[in-house]
Amino acid sequence: MEAPQAVPNDVNKYRMQKARNKTVDILYSIFRYLLIIGISFIIVYPLLMKFSVAFKAREDIYNPTIYMVPVHFTFDNIKMAMTILNYFPLLGNTLLFVVVTTVLTAASCALAGYGFARFAFPGNNILFALVVLTILVPTSTLMVPMYLHFRSFDILGLVHLFTGKQGVNLLNTYWPSIITSATAIGLKAGLFIYIFRQFFKGMPKEIEEAALIDGAGGVKTFLQIMLPNAVPPIITVVLFCFVWQYNDTFFTSLFMSESSLMPIKIASLSAQANQLIPSLLGIGNSANVKADPNHVAMVIDTGILLAIIPLILLYLLVQRYFVESVERSGIIG
């Protein structure tokens, strides 16, 4: 907006300028809406398509006149996708896994972040540089050793010492993810430590000094004074950790390729759908019977929608905290 530079005695000219400014403003806001709606459309379109496909009956697949809104509404696709995925047990399982790892990650990262932010122990900066290193090294570098490590898990040879075995095979259990998240080295944990450290660094030192004078020890100060004040970074970390953990395929397919977790099941959905749809439709089990590929694609889309619906619901509930918490968690500055 330009400031109107009115000449006091020339009212007409002033009015003209005001009108011009107003049109420019209106044009600009129309342009802005067009832009925002356009971009929003690009983002939302795949989601809308999935919704429309989910309720489409099979008769509608080959009807070219249908756009988005199906003629024959049906819940068949959803039912079928749910049977193939074994949906509710799978969802419960996944949510439990994700919640546990998220809580552990947030706790361990908060501890480490506070430790790095507030205590001057020898090597603080060097150790923190190592945290940054864990963010920067691609996970594929650590993949093979980690896999072998969890294949015969053993801390300092203790298991070997007591049982004489070569360690415990932890693959296809939840332990690899639980161990890595409890020790703040799991999925993008370095980033979370960084967020917590930045936030705790920005908090006034006087609070802690007052707590110290009042006789609170370091642990008590952390639990009762620092943590209740650290809501913004906790929200940020919990949100991102939850979402990334829910969507992660790399670690889950590396350590838990046979567990029933959402990302793994979704990735193998198409093979399963091809196998199961003929028998679900009751047209036979033999290998010669093949489902209509369009129908399979429809069921896959429905399955994907079922997988992301919990996230979308969660997002609708908490989305207003997204910006606020990132803004206040001190990543900036």
Partner 1 sequence: MIGTKLTLNRKRSLLGLAFITPWFLGFALMFATPLIQSIKFSLSKLTISPSGYQLEFVGLTNFKDALLIDATFNRILSQSVTEMALNVPMILFFSLFSATLLNQKFKGRVLARAIFFLPVILASNAISSAESQGLINLVGDASVVNEMGTSASSYNIMSMVMMLADIGLPLSFIDYITEAIVRIYDIITHSGVQILIFLAALQSVPSSMYEVAKMEGATAYESFWKITFPMVSPLILTNVIYTIIDSFSGSKVTTTIFNTAFKTQNFGLSSAMSWIYTIIVSLVLVIIGFVLSKRVHYN
Query: Can you tell me the distance from the alpha carbon of 306 to that of 176, in angstroms, rounded to the nearest whole number?
Result: 27
Q: How far is CA 283 from CA 121, 278, 288, 300, in A?
A: 70, 6, 11, 19
Which CB atom, from 66 or from 243, has the smaller least distance to partner 1? 243
Tokens 């609708």 found at: 316
Smallest gap from Cβ 99 to partner 1, in A, equals: 16
Kindly tell me which residue out of 250, 279, 284, 289 binds partner 1, with binding defined by CB under 8 A. Answer: 250
Tokens 């069921």 found at: 299
| Count of residues in contact with partner 1, rule CB under 8 A | 98
The whole-angstrom distance between residue 223's C-alpha and the CA centroid of its chain comes to 27
Task: Find the angle CA(49)-CA(304)-CA(78) to the nearest 5 degrees.
Answer: 80
- Could you tell me where the DSSP H helices lie in the chain? 11-54, 76-85, 87-118, 124-136, 140-151, 158-163, 175-182, 189-202, 205-213, 218-220, 227-229, 231-247, 250-255, 262-267, 269-281, 293-328
Kindly tell me which residue out of 80, 211, 304, 306 binds partner 1, with binding defined by CB under 8 A. Answer: 304
- Determine if 179 is a binding residue for partner 1 (CB under 8 A): yes
Report 116-135 residues binding partner 1 (CB under 8 A). 116, 118-122, 124, 127, 130-131, 134-135
Query: Can you tell me the distance from the alpha carbon of 21 to that of 24, in angstroms, rounded to the nearest whole number?
Result: 5
Q: Which stretch binds partner 1 (CB under 8 A): 31-39, 71-79, 87-95, 280-288?
A: 31-39
Kindly tell me which residue out of 77, 101, 180, 198 binds partner 1, with binding defined by CB under 8 A. Answer: 180
- Determine if 301 is a binding residue for partner 1 (CB under 8 A): yes
Kindly tell me which residue out of 80, 81, 171, 184 binds partner 1, with binding defined by CB under 8 A. Answer: 184
Report 187-246 residues binding partner 1 (CB under 8 A). 193, 218-219, 222, 243, 246
Query: Can you tell me the distance from the alpha carbon of 77 to that of 321, in angstroms, rounded to the nearest whole number?
Result: 34
Kindly tell me which residue out of 90, 170, 256, 326 binds partner 1, with binding defined by CB under 8 A. Answer: 326
Smallest gap from Cβ 191 to partner 1, in A, equals: 8
Q: How far is CA 232 from CA 175, 322, 325, in A?
A: 29, 9, 5
Query: Can you tell me the distance from the alpha carbon of 147 to that of 160, in angstroms, rounded to the nearest whole number?
Result: 18
Kindly tell me which residue out of 8, 157, 215, 333 binds partner 1, with binding defined by CB under 8 A. Answer: 333
Tokens 């908060």 found at: 110
Kindly tell me which residue out of 23, 40, 163, 224 binds partner 1, with binding defined by CB under 8 A. Answer: 40
**Per-residue binder mask for partner 1 (CB under 8 A), 274-293, x = binder:** x------------------x
- Determine if 114 is a binding residue for partner 1 (CB under 8 A): yes
Which CB atom, from 58 or from 149, has the smaller least distance to partner 1? 149
Count of other CB atoms within 10 angstroms of residue 267: 13
Query: Can you tell me the distance from the alpha carbon of 213 to that of 209, in angstroms, rounded to the nearest whole number?
Result: 6
**Per-residue binder mask for partner 1 (CB under 8 A), 137-176, x = binder:** xxxxxxxxxxxxx--x--x----------x----------
Q: Which residues of 235-258 are buried (b: 16+ CB within 10 A; e: fewer)?
A: bbbbbbbbebbbbbeebbbbbbee
**Per-residue binder mask for partner 1 (CB under 8 A), 48-87, x = binder:** ----------------------------------------
Tokens 């000094």 found at: 209
Which CB atom, from 70 or from 240, has the smaller least distance to partner 1? 240
